[in-house]
Amino acid sequence: MTTLKPRSPYSQDELRKLYPESLDLQLVQVLMRHGERSPVSARFQKAGLAAYWPYCAVARQMQSATLDAKEGKWSSLQWRRRIETFGRDDGPVIASGPKGETDSVCNLGELTDEGRMSTWQLGRRLRHLYVDQLHFMPGMIEDADMIYLRATPIPRALESLQQAFWGMYPAHSRAADFPPVTIITRAPSDETLFPNDSSCRRFAALSRAFAQRSADRWNKTKEMDYLNNLISKWMPEGSKRVAVDSRPRLSGIMDTINSTLAHGPETRLPSEFYDVEGLKIIDKIAVEEWFAGYQESQEYRAVGIGSLMGDLVQRMVGSTQGNRDSITEIGGRYGHTGLGRGGEKSIKMELSGCHDTTLAAILASLGTFQGESWPPYTSHIALELFKKSNIQKAQVANVKIEYTAPESYRKSWFGGILGRKYDRKAASSSETTRQTIDTWSETEKSKLDNYFVRVRYNDRVMQVPGCKPIGKHLEGDESFCTLEAFKTIVDKFTPINWKVACRENLDKTAFPKKLEPAGY
């Protein structure tokens, strides 16, 4: 539930099975949850838990880029941070840790020293696999323009990404004149690297409805009674009974428990909070509340994580077609986009700093999250694209094709957002690679032949159920989905226009008329 205990590196026998000689690795996209952090809200001070924790040494050595307006030059301002809060008389006081610490104090929800170390170690593990063992990525880099780096606007996600990248390429593996890396971010209203209920009204409505269903299902059960017998005495006066929708919510209680388990004894709760059976109950209910919607509803998948999944698959398809569009996002010298600064023509790896809700949403939407616990800190998913060895990449046909999506598609919920014709030649390559596969010609579909996708979660191979039928996976290994099968599954919940989808169906019920299983 809390800190990830990574497995040992793959043995040579495991590597031979996981990365057979018949397949060449072509693209790796890694999505990582941030590392250990302080709780996002100060809870259970009545139980003796300090509101502010002394685990953020970065507060002693903050740096900011500052501009000298007269000289027109940038320099680095070094400063230390102290946090101010309300005192007993409502006046200002400096926040302090459990032993009176005033420096190295974490803000709420901040990446801690432990989180920085664990994400750096993740980078080391990625280097060991993709550089040392597989020789897929270079050991020394002149720049980072073959690596797509992206993070959400939440500081702990960005900082975790930076730590992981520095772990994968430490100082001795970077050229002396190594230029600044490019990290992609988005405005909060455009963010799709986590399920964005703040900017997507329909997703907010769906998530509230599924959360209420969990509350109705669990609040008056023997499992909830068990939790109340353990910890209700520490609940606030206005909400004494532990419940899915109590204040704090059950998932908020879990957040605080997990944060304390990841750190030192100075910030621990009473032993009742760590009751083994109680932890299992909390995890089971929280996972259902937050992630059951992805497993049951195509619309939930679409507005929750569909746009991001569309991006990931678009990059896979573009990779098979020699699509250079993605390199422009990170390549080019200042003021320009284009090829990488070292002449790179394509992305080989993606590393995205995100959240537990991102990882669980992806896995659940692919039908691979049954029986899983809440993603621990520093968890990661690797989406790996392979091609059969000695198979030449298909060339993108330079033909003009005007077509209309099939009638069944145009009448669907997604089709209502589409409803127009496309000129393939006029469309950019990114538009072409994102179009749903049921609108492709057989010739275009054939360009995906001999390409395969595999999903690994914390170094465990995951099975996508829709890839099990014969013809939808590599012969002899169901974990390798054909790219066509994988794209077909993801297309079903990739919205044509995420922002439009977020404004639609606001007066409709949240639940589908019948179960819409994920992963098919």
Residues 6+ apart with CB under 8 A from 144: 165, 169, 178, 181, 182, 330
Residue 515 has which token pair? 């179960």
Please give the helix or strand (H or E) that residue 28 lies within, else none: strand 23-33
pTM: 0.92
**What gap in Å lies between CA 298 and CA 490, rounded to an integer?**
10
CB neighbour class for 334 (10 Å; exposed up to 12, middle 13-18, buried from 19): exposed
CA dihedral 201, 205, 207, 209 (to 10 degrees): 180
Rounded to the nearest angstrom, the gap between the alpha carbon of residue 253 and the centroid of all alpha carbons in its chain is: 22
C-beta neighbour count of 58 within 10 angstroms: 17
Residue 118 has which token pair? 């664990």
By C-alpha distance, which of 66, 333, 29 is closest to 180?
333
User: Where are the alpha helices (H) located in 232-339, listed in sequence order?
Assistant: 250-261, 276-296, 298-301, 307-320, 327-330
- Each residue's pLDDT expressed in tens, for the chain with a length of 520 residues: 689 999 999 999 999 999 999 999 999 999 999 999 999 999 999 999 999 999 999 999 999 999 999 999 999 999 999 999 999 999 999 999 999 999 999 999 999 999 999 999 999 999 999 999 999 999 999 999 999 999 999 999 999 999 999 999 999 999 999 999 999 999 999 999 999 999 999 999 999 999 999 999 999 999 999 999 999 999 999 899 999 999 999 999 999 999 999 999 999 999 999 999 999 999 999 999 999 999 999 999 999 999 999 999 999 999 998 766 667 778 777 777 878 787 777 899 999 999 999 999 999 999 999 999 999 999 999 999 999 997 544 333 333 333 334 444 444 444 444 333 333 333 444 556 789 999 999 999 999 999 999 999 999 999 999 999 999 999 999 999 999 999 999 999 999 999 999 999 999 999 999 999 999 9
User: Where are the alpha helices (H) located in 337-474, listed in sequence order?
Assistant: 356-365, 407-410, 415-418, 429-434, 442-446
What is residue 103's three-state secondary structure? coil
Residue with the two structure tokens 């990779």 = 319
Q: Cβ(374)–Cβ(254) under 8 Å?
A: yes
By C-alpha distance, which of 136, 102, 130 is closest to 26?
136
